[in-house]
């Protein structure tokens, strides 16, 4: 029975405990957020309520709507849409299904496949890459030619 108290619980699977890399271009913004809007310490929550406590579903909506308006976002955007956008962008950047699974903390590929949308930009990039392979006699133009080093 629930009595209204908040508690931390472990992720659904071991895949939920992970380290996720982010672009260096975000370091200043993330540092600012952690210094001013997150709970202190390594175990502190990254997102907290106005009084510094855990977020509650019941009062988060108003804060989210205000944050959207303050950011000039007029579309009906839900917090989970940010996760969807981030993972779709990671997929567009070339993340494999396994890499998306790891980034999202999922142990099955079902969820990762949701984020692997075919976009017209990616479709064009694939066609251009295939064209370059044809021009280069089947060789992958992105290979550096150095067979002793791994591509990353």
The per-residue DSSP string of 38-101 comes to S-SSTTS-SSB-TTSSB--HHHHHHHHHHHHHHTT--S---HHHHHHHHHHHHHHTT--HHHHH
| 54 phi and psi angles, rounded to 5 deg | -65, 145
Task: Give CA separation, 111 vs 32, 75, 108, 122, in Å.
Answer: 31, 25, 7, 20
Tell me the per-residue pLDDT of 22-50, one tens digit each, with 9 for 90 and over: 889 999 999 999 998 899 988 888 888 87
pLDDT of 28 reads: 94
Domain extents in the chain: 26-72, 78-140
**135 CB burial (10 A radius; 0-12, 13-18, 19+):** exposed
Whether the pTM exceeds 0.75: the reply is no
Q: pLDDT per residue over 60-91, tens digit each?
A: 888 888 889 999 998 888 888 888 888 888 88
At 27 the pLDDT is 93
pLDDT grade for 150, boundaries at 50, 70 and 90: very low
Regarding predicted confidence, which is higher, 45 or 145? 45
């Amino acid at each position: 029975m629930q009595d209204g108290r908040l508690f931390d619980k472990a992720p659904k699977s071991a895949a939920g405990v992970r380290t996720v890399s982010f672009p260096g271009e975000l370091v200043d913004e993330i540092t600012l957020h952690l210094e001013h809007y997150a709970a202190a310490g390594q175990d502190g929550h990254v997102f907290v309520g106005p009084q510094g406590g855990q977020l509650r579903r019941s009062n988060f909506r108003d804060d989210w709507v205000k944050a959207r308006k303050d950011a000039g976002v007029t579309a009906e955007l839900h917090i989970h849409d940010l996760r969807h956008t981030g993972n779709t962008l990671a997929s567009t950047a070339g993340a494999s299904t396994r890499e998306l699974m790891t980034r999202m903390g999922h142990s099955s590929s079902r969820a990762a496949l949701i984020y692997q949308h075919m976009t017209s930009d990616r479709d064009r990039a694939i066609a251009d890459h295939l064209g370059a392979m044809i021009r280069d006699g089947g060789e992958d133009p992105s290979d550096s030619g150095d067979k002793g080093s791994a591509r990353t």
